[in-house]
Amino acid sequence: MTRDANALLHGALDVLVLRTLAAGPMHGYGITRSIEERTRHELDILDSALYKALQRLEAAGAIDSAWGVSDNNRRAKFYRLTNTGRRQLKTERESWNRLTTAMQAALDARPEEV
C-alpha cells in the first residue's frame, strides 16, 4: 500500500530528505529513490512535494545546492546537507523518536487504560 507524500506533514518529508542527504550529496531523483527504498516503497514521493521540501530546506539554510553531472551524464542539481542541516536533523530525529514512542504507547494501551 503506497501513501502519497502530500499526506505527510511537511516536517516528515523534510526530515526524510535531511536524513537521506546525511549520506552525501544527491540529486532530486536520487533522493526520491533512496526514500522510497528505505521505506520499502510504502511512501511514494511526488516530485512536486519533494521539490517544495528542497526549496524550504534550502531557504532555511539546512541544505545547499550546486549543478553537476549525474551518473547517466545528465546535468542535475545536487543537494547537500549544511552544518545547520546536520543540527536540524539531530533535533528532528529526537523529536520524531519522542513522538513515535508516545504514539506507540497510546496505540498499545489496553482499552481500560484509555
Per-residue pLDDT averaged across 72-83, rounded? 96
Q: Which residues pair with 44 in a beta bridge?
A: 4
Take residue 95 and report the three cell numbers written for it: 523529536
Q: What is the pTM of this model?
A: 0.84
CA–CA distance from 3 to each of 6, 8, 69, 105 (Å)?
8, 9, 31, 23
List the domain boundaries for the chain: 3-113
Strands (E), 1-114: 3-4, 26-27, 43-44, 63-69, 75-81
pLDDT number for residue 43: 87
Predicted confidence (pLDDT) per residue in 15-59, tens digit = 999 999 999 999 999 999 999 999 999 888 899 999 999 999 999
| Distance from C-alpha of 17 to C-alpha of 32, rounded to nearest angstrom | 9
The fold of 3-113 is Arc Repressor Mutant, subunit A (1.10.10)
| Distance from C-alpha of 64 to C-alpha of 85, rounded to nearest angstrom | 9
